[in-house]
Homo-oligomer: A and B are copies of this chain.
């Protein structure tokens, strides 16, 4: 059981066709494909093409409305609120960040908050959209409840990632992290490997630290209690209240300002209800964008060149690993898990698409699922 590498272009044509067949426009299909495959290119397999099955199920179950049009329901020169009307998260997210970027072009700052959306892929994609235009980009999203607040035993916040990207040379600052210590996908991997979890990741249904991945995942699914700890663990000594606080800031810019659903209400009764937040800031409202970019680039270089801990070869700045993964995958192909390929085969049958038109003679064999999950 393993991985097979496919060229970017192959996966791109395939994804595009799948989403068109689901009923999305060509332009929408391009956006969704772009978000998913950037994740695979960046080495974040969890949020890439392996999520196709999740979107497939979301559309089938009616959580995702293919025909929904995101609607701007409130607007000022620096802000907007969008009702996603249960559409596809990537389409809504892309539209929202476009508006934030336009506003940043006019006033210097654009902040857009979104309610009634669905999972939108990696938060970093939208931060990168702003960065590609020379701006500082932010994006965050809530999700189904998975983070247990400090001293609690029920998940009340999502994994609540916050992403930030900013132009620099030789590559941008690109930070994208859940405010939980890890994400559910990591628990799933340990469960499949039948390995105990590291201490400080998860809580059982009574709110005690636990290393039993199978038990925790079962309790999460059945909403018995328990979940994942905030960044900083479950004790104030290790800074649990800080991760919980950054998770709250994510909730403010997604569900609170949009008057949408907080994480503890999302993904229930055939309703996603996911909320996002986006911001774009033009560095030139603080002076020369070129000088600011150079100042950041110098600092990032100093960080990379600063003395390493013994036995460590390298200090990374945020975004370096992603850039290196992208270069490798554009050259050598994107590794896709055999189980994911089986799901894509199923999808072709469901949509009456010709699998071999994209993947030739390749036929996946059933095996253990071994996906990575970044948040």
Which residues of A come within 8 Å of B, CB atoms?
74, 76-79, 81, 107-109, 111, 113, 136, 148-154, 156, 164, 166, 173, 175, 177-179, 181-182, 198, 200, 203, 206-208, 225, 231-234, 237-239, 241-246, 248-249, 251-252, 255-259, 262, 264, 281, 283, 285-287, 291-292, 295-296, 299, 302-303, 306-310, 312, 314-316, 318
Contacts and interface: CB of A to CB of B under 8 A. Distances in A.
A149 B306 contact: yes
A9 to B, nearest CB: 32
Contacts of A245: 164, 175, 177, 318
A151 B313 CA distance: 8
Nearest to A243: B231
A79 B285 contact: yes
A59 B190 CA distance: 56
Given A207-B312, A239-B182, A242-B231, A306 B79 contact: no
Contacts of A164: 245, 249, 252
Query: Can you tell how many copies of this chain the complex includes?
Result: 2
Given A175-B249, A256-B296, A299-B256, A315 B151 contact: yes
A277 to B, nearest CB: 10
A115 to B, nearest CB: 10
Contacts of A244: 318
Contacts of A136: 252
A136 B306 CA distance: 36
A237 B109 CA distance: 35
13 contacts: A77-B108, A78-B78, A107-B107, A109-B109, A151-B308, A153-B309, A156-B303, A164-B245, A181-B238, A182-B239, A198-B237, A207-B309, A208-B309
Contacts of A166: 252, 256
Contacts of A291: 259
B295 A78 contact: no
Given A306-B156, A307-B154, A309-B152, A318 B281 contact: no
B252 A286 contact: no
Contact of A286 (B81, B179, B237, B246): B81
Contact of A309 (B151, B231, B233, B243): B151
Which of A81, A148, A149 is most buried by chain B, counting CB atoms within 10 A of its CB? A149
B78 A181 contact: no
Contact of A314 (B113, B151, B252): B151
Contacts of A233: 238
A73 B287 CA distance: 9
Contact of A108 (B78, B149, B182, B306): B78
